[in-house]
Amino acid sequence: MSEKLAGQVALVTGANGGLGTFVSDSLLAAGATVVGIARSIATGEAHDNHYYPVSADLTDPEEARKVIARLAAQFHKIDILVHVMGGFAGGASVAQTDDTTWRKMMDLNVNAAFYVFRAVVPVMREADYGRIVAIGSRQAVQPAANMGAYSASKAALVSLVQTVALENKDKNIRANVILPGTMDTPANRATMPKANFEKWVNPARVADLVVLLVGDTGGDITGAAIPIYGADL
């Protein structure tokens, strides 16, 4: 990846997940200092002297506010936010979806993003600079049966990101959302062992797209919902 991000501070949520690890490594390779946030992340996971792991529950609005404020004070800025965090639940029709599943999908896929954006955007606005990328899902624009709560939560995320882009274009802040198809992660392979993995999306390619969007090459891209479906069209 040719993007140069030296001197920039990047927050990555869901940093130790199947995609978050690739995103963190790609940002580090491009020269950024990376703060990796996850609900459960150990300091021992600091695999680079420019990588700072932070444990936080971003579905808690007050905890999200406090951790973002602390990091902004510690690093004096937040140049990049990559919101990878999310969750999946499916297997029930809308009529059969229980309240717990609905709330969980909204908490993991929409509410946490809202809490983080609400805390990070003022920091970026003060600096007249910011790059935001969220990880959505193909299901946001191509919903499937029996995934109503998941699809709706990811669709709401797309709307939220595009609104952030519109509201902050005056301050040199770009915001985009990537819509991957099924990604080739260990968790997905375990869940769907009989699937054709060759059709799935390589997480490394998604991470490359993230770096492009936050770098100079993506300078004219904002408010976009970008599909990356691999061979499974």
Note the pLDDT tens digit of each residue in 158-212. Answer: 999 999 999 999 999 999 999 999 888 888 888 889 888 888 999 999 999 999 9
What average pLDDT score do residues 80-89 get?
96
Q: Is residue 2 part of a domain?
A: no
Give me the pLDDT at residue 1, please: 45
What average pLDDT score do residues 40-48 get?
64
Q: What is the mean pLDDT of the chain?
A: 94
Strands 173-180 and 225-228: parallel
pTM over 0.85: yes
Q: Quickly count: other Cβ atoms within 10 Å of residue 210's Cβ.
A: 30
User: What is the percentage of the chain residues whose pLDDT exceeds 70?
Assistant: 96
Q: Is residue 3 part of a domain?
A: no
Q: How many domains does the chain have?
A: 1
Q: Is residue 1 part of a domain?
A: no
Q: What is d(CA 46, CA 70) in angstroms, rounded to the nearest whole number? A: 19
What's the domain range around 52?
Answer: 9-228
Q: Is residue 38 part of a domain?
A: yes
How far is residue 173 from each of residues 41, 63, 114, 132, 209, measured CA to CA in Å? 29, 24, 16, 8, 18
User: What is the percentage of the chain residues whose pLDDT exceeds 90?
Assistant: 84
Q: Is residue 233 part of a domain?
A: no
Q: Is residue 4 part of a domain?
A: no
Which residues pair with residue 225 across a beta bridge? 177
Strands 130-135 and 80-83: parallel
For position 80, which CATH number holds?
3.40.50.720
Tokens of 184: 């080739």
- The closest alpha carbon to 75, from 112, 127, 113, belongs to 127
